[in-house]
Amino acid sequence: MLNFDEQRFLRIQSGAVALSKRLDEVVSSCLSAGAENIFFLGTGGAAILMQPAAQLLQRRSRFPTFIDMPAELVVTGSAHLTAKSIVVIPSLSGMTKESVALLAGLKEIGATVLTLVGHEETPLGKGGDHVFVNFAEDDTSCESFYLQSLLIALSVMKHRGELSNYDQLVAELSNLPEMLLQAKRAFEDRADGFARILAGSDYHIITGAGNVWPEAFYYGMCILEEMQWIRTRPVHASDFFHGTLELVEKEVSVILFKGEDALRPLAERVENFAPNYTDKLTVLDTADFELPGISAEVRALVSPILLSTVLERISAHLEVMRNHPLTTRRYYKRVAY
């Protein structure tokens, strides 16, 4: 595979799954101590990657679950954020400015802070009440953060008596890193063609529904815009028909991500509409990939993880094709803002 280290990938994703036992122990202790809610408080891309886990809890658990922006909470606070709150802060660098600023306030409140970081010797790596370190870099962090947050959500449901097959689900997730690697290999020949589609337009409407919508948002904002300077319009598939559809015409690129959860029909609605008005609809469907030994229930849960892993292959080809390394920035961490 182009510019890819297979063993590094397996090491990082296996490292994320290996955190399951300790994550479960910490969640159990927090709930036993009387935790009343959970906040997922990431910044930027890391925040987006928390959305599927937060959505899972909001829809399948009665445990109050919030997702918010640290930059806003520093200013406004929240009536729900108390000493009885569990707060999950993901930050690959461990130094994200807005999240570090929030940490001091969380200490004053007395909330229990779980930090998910790639580097321990950092403010967030040292500042959490419970620190989970799994080294990763930009090309491997998505799957790692998705997995860690999913494990937290499943653990909450388990200890509240809302999930009866936790052990089975985690056992399947332990096999996922190898399955993701196989998916990358299977997709490699298609990745170049997909990259050509992205390189062929300077504007893309990117859409999806359910737990793959955050990956559509993330890929548009954090990869195509930040790392490739390609303009995008991420829009949820249900909102697609409340404004964005008016921008669809011949030669307008529409990129559709399809997952395998209950919200798949919302994506299919876009899939049925768009070809009538543009000749540039491109669909990336997780159902097209084999995951031996992974149940339908887990496939639905890991659809955003599977999408992110094959999108990484597309990005690897795209940066070479456009002669624009994914590490190239004009402003991000380069100028004061």
Q: What is the reported pLDDT for 36?
A: 98
Percent of the chain exceeding pLDDT 70 equals 100
Q: What is the mean pLDDT of residues 219-234?
A: 98
Q: How far apart are CA 253 and CA 232, in angstroms?
A: 10
The full set of domain ranges for the chain reads 6-174, 180-321
pLDDT confidence bin for 19, thresholds 50/70/90:
very high
The answer to whether 31 touches 61, Cβ cutoff 8 Å, is no
Q: What is the pLDDT of residues 260-285, one digit of tens each?
A: 999 999 999 999 999 999 999 999 99
Q: What is the pLDDT of residues 184-207, one digit of tens each?
A: 999 999 999 999 999 999 999 999
Beta bridge partners of 67: 40
Q: Which fold has domain 180-321?
A: Rossmann fold (3.40.50)
Asked whether the domain spanning 180-321 has the same topology as the one spanning 6-174, the reply is: yes
Q: What's the chain's average pLDDT? A: 97
Q: How far apart are CA 76 and CA 151, in angstroms?
A: 30
Q: Is 265 helix (H, G, I), strand (E, B) or coil?
A: helix
Q: What is the mean pLDDT of residues 158-163?
A: 98
Spatial neighbors of 285 by CB under 8 A, at least 6 apart, are 257, 258
Q: What is the reported pLDDT for 259?
A: 98
Q: What is the mean pLDDT of residues 148-152?
A: 98
Q: Which CATH architecture has domain 6-174?
A: 3-Layer(aba) Sandwich (3.40)
- Tokens 């640290």 appear where? 70
Q: What is the reported pLDDT for 321?
A: 98
Q: How many CA atoms lie within 13 A of 145 on its CB side?
A: 35
pLDDT at residue 337 tops 90 = no
Q: What is the mean pLDDT of residues 160-170?
A: 98
Q: Which of 171, 179, 180 is nearest to 139 (CA)?
A: 180
pLDDT confidence bin for 234, thresholds 50/70/90:
very high
Q: What is the pLDDT of residues 294-331, one digit of tens each?
A: 999 999 999 999 999 999 999 999 999 999 999 999 99
pLDDT confidence bin for 125, thresholds 50/70/90:
very high
pLDDT at residue 26 tops 90 = yes
Going by DSSP bridges, is the β-strand pair 112-117/130-133 parallel, antiparallel, or unpaired?
Answer: parallel
Q: What is the mean pLDDT of residues 236-251?
A: 97
